[in-house]
Structure 1
């Protein structure tokens, strides 16, 4: 799905590393809403960062799946297919006004799917495009979380969205990183909605927490903190993007979990129409009675498997029962909730205040939830007890009349 050279090379619909379902899965009209008749959505882009040099970009794909950018006049500009890889994209930046001004209005009049609204402070972002494969659409190369990316030391952030005939669905996400805060609001058939930004100072506190965690356990949590040339925190990356491997970090916890479930049944509620499955460990494999494992048994996952939630025994097999069980195992492992009281009943048996109690856990997710108001911190952070409120930061409207996005100050 994603290949990498010196930095991210991907198709228009790809994210920085999160599974595609995170960006696309809820994009449907809510109950009782009628689909919008035609594309007509005024977007306001606002700068509250404290800087007078801020740029916005609106990227995505048209309804045919062809990647491009929305310009300041609301026109979607398709990317040409170049003759060579990593061809620079023409400048589609939208300069924003001074911090605290009323913002820039973009009269969007075309549907955009798998989109992002990007913001950069102090410098423009660089995008590239790769040639089409087999006569299809070219591949947009977006800013990536690696030091070889030309945007590495630039302060940038984004939110995700799709706007189609069914609805506007937009969300903030910390699955890949925490950076400049983004806030959103909308009006429309669903009424006024809003998504709060990362609280002031939260980025710095998360960075401090990760450095302190490294000092405590020696794991490379500090390597998740990226700084600019002045030493200011630019972003904090999720451990799935760590430049340093976590090796056998999870092994003591996994050993303890596997021992417990040799003698105790682990029940996983796949929720929805999936139903419940109970498993036990035998011969090093966690086997759930009646569950088709698609030839990929639930053995002990690696750190890469746990943080990424998409490989090894935790590979994303889609919407089947195995996929539902794997997602809930991935969430339980990231939260280290399998050994606490009620941990043998996932995800219903463990309240959120019992997550991240073990010394071995996803400390990035722990700190994000400690300092952020709302937002996913790993790919299956939407997994929760049946009936629990969503923890993501999204808005959705079947007939939106306005959408405002603003970027705030950093650490």
Structure 2
């Protein structure tokens, strides 16, 4: 792994649009201090201020040229928790606070949730990356919001292998808004209220994730609870104790039940039957299987008779709320010291988020099982549909997939990266693992 890497920044925005870029992160080779990488490759380490909310001491904006065929190339050092920020026509404002890592400043980054943030009315977005001694890992993220600025990633390894994440086309945000408005008319939930308009304008600025619905003044309380109840009915047992060690005939019968339910689920998809029909067919007394994709292997789970907790591999999980499912980091999805529990949580949370928990018993399940029944996270569904290759982090554990399964998360990674390209603006967006 190199100590540094060149990033090519391409302006694919509409002609005449000024694109500002900022590269931030923790400098691994410099005591993990907060760092900005400037356009000439120089590193700026914000100093620890004497009081809060102080401006940067240097201008760190990288202004891209207008010719997509003439990228701006910037050399980055090894960085953890890196972000490549971009904005249209207005520079971003970063501020310094006291007590940052490595003796430097803490960084106040642009926020879409704070109405008093100086960047609140600026059209901006970011992609995420880490360049460490093991690899380059980068992804486009929609976990918090959908920006009005599409971005795509391309990574070429030294052996010649190319990975490409397309992102959205120029009209991607408009398509997301259309999908949310249509869904709100169908189910009555406030999906369209997640659309943030620019003040005193009819222009859409961004779309918030339902995780942050409160910032839009709306609630999704109670949304996922019917799915949770279906799952609890499905895995509730009519006898005491875990049945993972039951006799062979019992296990054989349950294996048959799993196969029948999988076939039933596929039949619903093939015939286009409604979710209400699907719900009426939900079986009970079933056994869940979580592939931890670790040496711990596959863990079985159920709700023992007389209990109200889902027991998976000896770990107990209470019923999650809608807030737990949307955020993936509270209630039963709170991580802790148990490696087993921490391996289960992403796969279990993803199964709830994708609404396949009550129809599929083996997890992680393949993409064709995602977002197929109600209630489901239509923000995630629509975001994936509006990325031209279907990829992008739409929730915290969107990288969960079966071994050998198709990636959903919009990531590129390599232990021997040679060329990394970030295309900003959406013009010329394409599908396929080829260079631009």
Query: Is TM > 0.5 for Structure 1 vs Structure 2?
Result: yes
**Cα drift, residue 81 of structure 1:** 0.7
CA offsets, 1:19-74, max 9 Å, x none? xxxxxxxxxxxxxxxx32x43x3322221111431111111111111102111110
Equivalents in 2 of 1:190, 1:302: separation in Å? 46
Match of 1:264 in 2: 286
Match of 2:132 in 1: 164
CA offsets, 1:212-266, max 9 Å, x none? 2223323232232222243222222222222233111112221222122212222
Match of 2:206 in 1: 235
Match of 2:425 in 1: 408
Match of 2:94 in 1: 127
Is the 2:34–2:100 Cα contact (8 Å) retained in structure 1? Answer: no
Is the 1:183–1:197 Cα contact (8 Å) retained in structure 2? Answer: yes
Is the 1:185–1:192 Cα contact (8 Å) retained in structure 2? Answer: no
CA offsets, 1:300-358, max 9 Å, x none? 11111101111111113377111222211111111111232xx122224xx32232122
CA offsets, 1:66-98, max 9 Å, x none? 102111110111011112222222431111112
- Provide the TM-score with structure 2 as the length reference: 0.77
Residue 74, structure 1, aligned to residue 41, structure 2? yes
Equivalents in 2 of 1:289, 1:359: separation in Å? 24
Alpha-carbon distance change, 197 to 190 in structure 1, aligned in 2, over 3 angstroms: farther
Based on CA coordinates, which of the two structures has the bigger radius of gyration? 2
Match of 1:320 in 2: 339
**Cα drift, residue 208 of structure 1:** 1.4
Two-structure CA RMSD over aligned residues (Å) = 2.3
Residue 376, structure 1, aligned to residue 393, structure 2? yes
**Cα drift, residue 397 of structure 1:** 3.3
**Cα drift, residue 136 of structure 1:** 4.2
Q: Please state whether the residue corresponding to 1:300 is helix, strand or coil.
A: coil
Alpha-carbon distance change, 325 to 353 in structure 1, aligned in 2, over 3 angstroms: same
* Pick aligned residue for 2:11 from 36, 47, 52: 47
Is the 1:52–1:97 Cα contact (8 Å) retained in structure 2? Answer: no
**Cα drift, residue 387 of structure 1:** 2.3
Match of 2:195 in 1: 225
Is the 2:168–2:426 Cα contact (8 Å) retained in structure 1? Answer: no
Q: Please state whether the residue corresponding to 2:309 is helix, strand or coil.
A: strand
Segments of structure 1 that go 5 or more residues without pairing to the other structure are 1-34
Alpha-carbon distance change, 403 to 302 in structure 1, aligned in 2, over 3 angstroms: same
Equivalents in 1 of 2:45, 2:196: separation in Å? 32
Alpha-carbon distance change, 284 to 385 in structure 1, aligned in 2, over 3 angstroms: same
Equivalents in 2 of 1:167, 1:267: separation in Å? 32
Equivalents in 2 of 1:98, 1:138: separation in Å? 33
Q: Report runs of 4+ in structure 1 exceeding 6 Å deviation.
A: none
Q: Please state whether the residue corresponding to 2:317 is helix, strand or coil.
A: coil
Q: How many residues align?
A: 365
In proportion to residue count, which structure has more helix?
2
Aligned runs of 1:50-129 on 2, under 5 Å?
Answer: 50=14, 51-63=16-28, 64-90=31-57, 91-98=59-66, 100=68, 102-108=70-76, 110-129=77-96
Match of 2:368 in 1: 353
Q: Please state whether the residue corresponding to 1:272 is helix, strand or coil.
A: coil
Q: Please state whether the residue corresponding to 1:258 is helix, strand or coil.
A: helix
Residue 196, structure 1, aligned to residue 166, structure 2? yes
Alpha-carbon distance change, 298 to 174 in structure 1, aligned in 2, over 3 angstroms: same
**Cα drift, residue 383 of structure 1:** 1.7
Is the 1:153–1:227 Cα contact (8 Å) retained in structure 2? Answer: no
Which of 245-254 and 117-126 deviates more? Answer: 245-254
Aligned runs of 1:12-23 on 2, under 5 Å?
Answer: none
Alpha-carbon distance change, 264 to 208 in structure 1, aligned in 2, over 3 angstroms: same
Segments of structure 2 that go 5 or more residues without pairing to the other structure are 237-284, 428-436
Is the 2:167–2:426 Cα contact (8 Å) retained in structure 1? Answer: no
Is the 1:129–1:139 Cα contact (8 Å) retained in structure 2? Answer: yes
Alpha-carbon distance change, 202 to 58 in structure 1, aligned in 2, over 3 angstroms: same
Q: Please state whether the residue corresponding to 1:149 is helix, strand or coil.
A: coil
Is the 1:257–1:338 Cα contact (8 Å) retained in structure 2? Answer: yes
Equivalents in 2 of 1:145, 1:274: separation in Å? 40
* Pick aligned residue for 1:277 from 287, 296, 299: 299
Match of 1:178 in 2: 146
Is the 2:33–2:101 Cα contact (8 Å) retained in structure 1? Answer: no
